[in-house]
Amino acid sequence: MTDSTIPTVLIVPGLRDHVEEHWQTLLQRALPNARTVAPLEHDKLSRAARVDALDAAMRQIDGPVVLVAHSAGVMITVHWAQQHRRPVMGALLAAPADLETPLPAGYPTQDALRDNGWLPIPRARLPFPSIVAASTNDPLGRFERVAEMAQAWGSRLVDVGAVGHLNPASGYGEWPRAAGFVAELSRQPAHTADC
């Protein structure tokens, strides 16, 4: 039996879903109170389906929650926060993908993102504390653009250095700072979305 005051850490992956050596996967294994949003079987590029999957995962959790999102998972989280009223202690928003700027080859095009509901990126203030961990050399989001998003969301911006997209391709399996950010957010009182 788990202590109901210890928040559940809910991992919100990006479009590539579960990646075996990703820091989110490793963090989930390291924390006894962590789980992840289930990958989609269909409509994998649908923003609405991704938001629904996050909400379904939230409905299965009793007690406080800390969200841990990466890349497009950050966008899933901010879209979800505009539509749902569930208590969240806080969110770690790591390496947000700037979907309003053309992405490198191999990623969805602007037209595909627009057609699937990803654009524009919500700029409303988040109804819970959040930390945006931004890389200075992320190929999916220039630091200045991510800083603007963090300000609009009311998030604390943390420059985590030149860590690329903070994924295995950038040399990040383990990312020890994530656990520290989760611990910080876990000490916050739970907030309920008003939007």
* From the candidate CATH numbers 3.40.1710.10, 3.40.50.1360, 1.10.1660.10, 3.40.50.1820, the one assigned to the domain spanning 8-62+80-141+148-188: 3.40.50.1820
CB atoms within 10 A of CB 73: 28
> Could you tell me which residues come within 8 angstroms of residue 19 by beta carbon, excluding any fewer than 6 positions away?
13, 25, 167, 168
What is the rounded CA–CA span in Å between residue 141 and residue 145? 7
Residue 191 has pLDDT above 90, yes or no: no
Tell me how long the chain is.
195
Average pLDDT, the chain: 91
| pLDDT for res 193 | 42
Domain boundaries, the chain: 8-62+80-141+148-188
Please list, in sequence order, all residues whose beta carbon lies within 8 angstroms of the beta carbon of residue 20, skipping any fewer than 6 positions away: none
Q: Is the dihedral of CA 104, 174, 46, 131 positive or negative?
A: negative
pTM of the prediction? Answer: 0.92
**129 prior amide bond cis, ω within 30:** no
pLDDT of residue 192: 47
- Collapsing DSSP states into helix, strand and coil, what is residue 84? coil
Task: Please tell me the least confidently modeled range out of 13-17, 58-62, 125-129, 166-170.
Answer: 13-17
